[in-house]
Amino acid sequence: MSQPSLRPYQEQAISACIDALVKDVNPLLVAPTGAGKTVMACEIMRRWQAKHDLPCYLFAHRQELLSQAKVSMERFGIRGDVFSVFQKSFSAPQMDVALCVFDEAHHAVASSWANVRANFRGPSVAITATPDRLDKQKLSTAGFMEVHQIPIRELIEQGYLVRPMAQKLHVAVCDNIMDSYDEAISQVAKNVVDEFYRYGRKRGMAFLPTVDSSRRFSNELRSLGMESSHLDGTSGKLRKIAVDAFKAGHTQFLCNVGLFTEGFDCPEVDCIVLLRETKSRALWSQMIGRGLRSSEGKKDCLILDPMWVSGIHMLQPGDAFTSHPDAVCREILGQSDPLAESIQEDDAAEERLLRQLKKAQATQEAKDAHQRGLIDLSIVTPLFGFVPPPEASSDPMTDSQKNTLERFQIFASATLPAEHAAYIIQKMQERQRLQLATVRQVKRLRQFGHKNAHRYTFEMASKAIGTDWRVAGRTKAVRVFNK
């Protein structure tokens, strides 16, 4: 029995999950492709089993994941077994108290997992690279709470994953074109081969929309001198033969439809070709993640994707590395740095969010001020003809200045420059010494045609409001009429 040495981020993640289990919380661990999810899952099971002496079971939805987990559990000396979530009935020791680990847990809200939870009722751990689902369902609905997340950018910066490098192909296609036009497939294949050789790549994976387009694309690659294989869900025994040949380096390309977005481990892959549309950021990240594992002599991964003419496809290579939910990367022709683009767009999204929050806060503050009878400075300035001086600095006004303005019935945003606030306060103090009309009086009189109301004294303004039935209001007007 031997266990590989843990990386620092793996130790942190494992400890977070164990601590959650101790507190009777079913933890969710978010870890990107290549972070070593199987190793972390096995170490969690090993530590839990050492304390409780109960079996552990791992569940997944793909055979590749189950086979890989089975080998790892044996290497870690874990007593237990692996099961497909699609299995209809289960028979295993102590199912009601055993620890269950769900791999690729973003599938955990699917109906296939309900049967698992009906049979295995012990503590659970969920691990996934992509917690977001296209149908917007949350893993919390399956009883999990996120306790730790390993950012993909950190793993790249620390050298555990290789850096992505994107090349936008100068050919516009969409799923319909890829599935219907041989000329489009031929043109894309030629572009891919040119870039593959130009960047000195060794092994590539291509993701396509349909079985027919994948077969034709693989054939086109072979006609251009590439050793290539196609696989789909009907490949049967040929699947293992083709995968083994690809991993051994006998073929340069593996074209597939919906097979290798999860649970496929070939660190030598240094080129990813994205030829299928998707709205799912999770699926997008999974496909790109197939090429980010590190291996000897590998420095980066080339991501090739064409221009898209379809309005359905919205994702760019950089979108696989963003962390802000509202970050959207732009289409960049030619070569680009997806990691740098993701950082830039994350920062931009954060700035937009802060602006929105400030705007919402300012709106609420203005609403509250109106309810307290305060007049917004944007109204006061033209009413009195105030011309603020050039701003000497961008320092905001002080709390004392804000309170003074409010005593003069004026509301101003907290971002008002201190120099501007000082100027308005000075002008209002001068008006006060001259016993001129208040802000509220001037605003009220101006509404009813008193153009020079700002020159009225307080007494004149009071008299005008009291005798002008339009200003005083209907109730006052009725009393005056009845006299």
C-alpha 84/C-alpha 62 separation (Å) is 7
Question: How much is the pLDDT for 470?
Answer: 67
361's tokens: 């806060």
Distances (CA, A) of 229 to 38, 226, 300, 373: 27, 10, 23, 75
Using alpha carbons, list the distances in angstroms from residue 416 to 380, 398, 407.
14, 9, 17
Residue 207, beta-bridge partner list: 256, 274
Cβ atoms within 10 Å of 273's Cβ, excluding its own: 28
Yes or no: domain 156-348 corresponds to CATH 3.40.50.300: yes
**Is 57 within 8 Å of 48 (Cβ atoms)?**
no
- Concatenating the DSSP letter of every residue in 93-128 gives TTTTTSEEEEESGGGTTSHHHHHHHHH--S-EEEEE
Q: Which of 21, 104, 96, 91 is nearest to 62 (CA)?
A: 104
CA distance 312 to 316: 12
Query: 8-150 — its CATH code?
Result: 3.40.50.300
> What is the structure's pLDDT at 363?
85
By CB atoms closer than 10 A (0-12, 13-18, 19+), residue 296 is exposed
With CA atoms as reference, report the closest residue to 321 among 305, 303, 306, 294. Answer: 303
Question: If you compute the radius of gyration of the chain from its CA atoms, what whole number of angstroms results?
Answer: 33
- Which residue numbers in the chain have pLDDT < 70? 1-4, 106-112, 131-141, 263, 309-313, 391-393, 468-483
DSSP assignment, residue 144? -
Residues 6 or more apart whose CB falls under 8 angstroms from that of 40 comprise: 10, 13, 14, 17, 29, 31, 127
List CB contacts of 107: < 8 A, sequence separation 6 or more: 61, 85, 113
Residue 191 has what pLDDT? 93
- Beta-bridged to residue 6, according to DSSP, are none
List phi, psi (to 5°) of 457. -80, 170
Q: 8-150 and 156-348: same fold?
A: yes
Q: Which residue has the tokens 């507190």?
A: 23
Report how far apart the first and last C-alpha atoms of the chain are (Å, whole number).
Answer: 105
Sorted by where each begins, the domain ranges of the chain are: 8-150, 156-348, 370-482
